[in-house]
Amino acid sequence: MMRVDRKQLSEAETIVGDRQTARLDAARAVSRRQQALLAGANQVAPDQDWFVLLVAEGLDIVVDNLLTNERIEHWMPALKLERKRRYGRRRPGFEPLVSPALPGYMFAKVVPSAETWAGLKMLDGVVGPLGGAACPSPVKAKEITKLKAFIEGDAKAVEILTNALRAGDRVAVDNGPFGGFEGIVSLLSGKGRLEVEVDIFGRSTPVDLELAQVTKLD
């Protein structure tokens, strides 16, 4: 029978234990480093701005939840879809399904810095900022508001846009068949729409538009 060298066995167990401890320490170090980096990402500062985050395919909702857990202000454009039974019948009483409206893209309000982008990229599913960490592309807050009103019909966003406009204001039409035209607001409705008098071929023509389709001109 082979004799077991208890001393060698004890030394082997110690080596294995040391390796496991080292791995755990390394994991904790990464976690602490990630927390430190993300702490910079969610701080409120004058240079904090909205940026577009690129998200790995199929991980939009995962990233949405992770950013929420890290208390980083963000917005995932989403559509609410009604659940249906077979043959197209709706399911009463069921919560609607949430589906990303712009898969692969999300907006985060952060302080742009190398630390911020490094921390965010540690989150599962975050590819990085649009434009790259060296030159990310900021998005104006008013554009986020317009997108919220357009994509989700966000009541608060619609209210902000409505309060920003008055009858008689001059606006530019951003998109749609009249994109590129300018006009005068003649009527604001309570449903996120407005009427704009647009000069078409020398004739003033009333055009019905959504609030998110126009930008107020100074």
CATH number for position 55: 3.30.70.940
Residues 57 and 122 in one domain: yes
87 close to 125: Cβ distance less than 8 angstroms: no
Residues 133 and 82 in one domain: yes
CA dihedral 164, 169, 174, 175 (to 10 degrees): 100
93 close to 85: Cβ distance less than 8 angstroms: no
176 close to 213: Cβ distance less than 8 angstroms: yes
Beta bridge partners of 99: 79
43 close to 111: Cβ distance less than 8 angstroms: yes
Residues 132 and 190 in one domain: no
Residues 64 and 106 in one domain: yes
Residues 132 and 51 in one domain: yes
CA distance 102 to 32: 32
Regions of the chain where pLDDT drops below 50: 1-2, 4, 9, 12, 16, 26-27, 29-30
57 lies in some domain:
yes
201 lies in some domain:
yes
Residues 196 and 126 in one domain: no
Residues 48 and 134 in one domain: yes
118 lies in some domain:
yes
The burial class, CB within 10 Å (0-12 / 13-18 / 19+), for 52 is middle
| DSSP structure class, residue 20 | H
Question: Which of 98, 107, 120, 115 shows the shortest CA–CA distance to 49?
Answer: 107
Residue 193 is predicted with a pLDDT of: 84
55 close to 124: Cβ distance less than 8 angstroms: no
Residues 190 and 115 in one domain: no
Tally of helices (H runs) and strands (E runs) in the chain: 5, 12
| Structural domains counted in the chain | 2
Residues 131 and 173 in one domain: no
Q: Read off the pLDDT of residues 166-175 as tens digits, 9 standing for 90 and up.
A: 889 999 998 8
CATH number for position 185: 2.30.30.30
CA distance 158 to 164: 10
Please report the DSSP string for 58-121 in residue order: T-HHHHHHHHHHTT--EE--EEEE--B-GGG-B-TTPPPEEEESSTTEEEEEE--SHHHHHHHH
Q: Read off the pLDDT of residues 83-108 as tens digits, 9 standing for 90 and up.
A: 555 555 555 555 667 788 888 999 99
Whole-prediction pTM value? 0.63
191 lies in some domain:
yes
172 lies in some domain:
yes
9 lies in some domain:
no
149 lies in some domain:
no
Residues 187 and 114 in one domain: no
Residues 67 and 101 in one domain: yes
Range of the domain at 180: 165-216
What backbone phi and psi angles, to 5 degrees, belong to 110?
-140, 170
19 lies in some domain:
no
Residues 180 and 104 in one domain: no
